[in-house]
């Protein structure tokens, strides 16, 4: 029965509209994981339906779902903007993981709301959210304890934002900064001093970072896997697949 479902995957179903989220809200009150990546026709109204219900009759169910939802993937939902994510943050305060990669309309103000209202977040993915700046990194650092962060494809963040990140997130395990063009060796020095728990760092196509600085980082953290070239990314995924098979 749909009422018993705890996980729903609608990713890639490109014909789905806002009414699909209304249906999920009404029929799946115990949902803990929702994947809706690539739903380009879903707008802010769809998120409104998800967290508030499309009708008075479904509002109570939506409220229960907001309490139960732990993980949501809205990456590449291109029509979503600040209002939608603000509603989500206000109603789904127990979220532990959120993926918003490719949601290019998001701003620093929304990231502040998300961080301050969803204190249980541990995994946040914001690749190619090109309007975000160091202010967003500061908001995340002020309110959260992250283990997995993807901020790749952002040319606005700087070494100053990374310093705040490294100092405040000493437990960070996985960090993706690929294609962040303003970063330099200063960020790598900061990681070598503060990020001893870091297990994987992606700096592919970060041209301001030198091999010399990365060598110093490796010396400070022997367990760290550094992704420096495109092929490194493929090998890392293969290693994870092999590890999963051997468990």
| Nearest residue to 69 via CA among 95, 44, 43 | 95
How does residue 52 score in pLDDT terms, banded at 50, 70 and 90?
confident
d(CA 171, CA 169): 5
Does the pTM surpass 0.85? The reply is: yes
Tell me what pLDDT residue 81 has: 92
Tell me what pLDDT residue 56 has: 63
**Angle CA(150)–CA(155)–CA(160) in degrees, nearest 5?**
80
Tell me what pLDDT residue 217 has: 96
d(CA 22, CA 62): 9
d(CA 191, CA 188): 5
Tell me what pLDDT residue 59 has: 60
**Stretch 143-158: mean pLDDT, rounded?**
97
CA distances to 166, 177, 202 from 194, rounded to whole Å, are: 6, 17, 17
How does residue 8 score in pLDDT terms, banded at 50, 70 and 90?
very high
Q: Three-state DSSP class for 117?
A: helix
**Stretch 54-78: mean pLDDT, rounded?**
77
d(CA 213, CA 44): 43
Residue 246 has pLDDT above 80, yes or no: no
d(CA 109, CA 113): 6
**Angle CA(176)–CA(235)–CA(216) in degrees, nearest 5?**
55
Q: What is the pLDDT of residues 101-127, one digit of tens each?
A: 999 999 999 999 999 999 999 999 999
**Angle CA(53)–CA(56)–CA(62) in degrees, nearest 5?**
30
d(CA 162, CA 157): 8
């Amino acid at each position: 029965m749909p009422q018993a479902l705890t996980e729903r995957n609608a990713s890639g179903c490109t014909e789905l509209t806002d009414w699909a989220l209304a249906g999920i809200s009404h029929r799946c009150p115990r949902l803990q994981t929702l994947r809706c990546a690539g739903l380009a026709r879903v707008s802010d109204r769809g998120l409104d339906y998800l967290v508030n219900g499309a009708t008075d009759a479904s509002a109570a169910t939506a409220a229960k779902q907001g309490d139960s939802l732990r993980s949501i993937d809205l990456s590449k939902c291109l029509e979503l903007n600040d209002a939608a994510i603000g509603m989500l943050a206000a109603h789904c305060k127990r979220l532990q993981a959120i993926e918003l990669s490719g949601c290019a309309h998001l701003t620093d103000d929304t990231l502040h709301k998300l961080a301050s209202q969803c204190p249980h977040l541990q995994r946040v993915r914001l690749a190619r959210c090109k309007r975000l700046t160091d202010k967003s990194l500061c908001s995340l650092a002020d309110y959260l304890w992250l283990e997995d962060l993807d901020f790749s494809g952002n040319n606005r963040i700087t070494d100053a934002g990374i310093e705040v990140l490294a100092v405040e997130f000493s437990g960070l395990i996985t960090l993706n900064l690929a294609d962040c063009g303003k970063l330099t060796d200063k960020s790598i020095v900061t990681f070598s001093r503060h990020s001893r728990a870091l297990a994987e760092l992606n700096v592919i196509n970060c041209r301001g970072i030198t091999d010399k600085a990365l060598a110093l980082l490796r010396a400070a953290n022997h367990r760290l896997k550094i992704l420096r070239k495109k092929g490194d990314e493929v090998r890392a995924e293969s290693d994870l697949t092999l590890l999963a098979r051997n468990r």
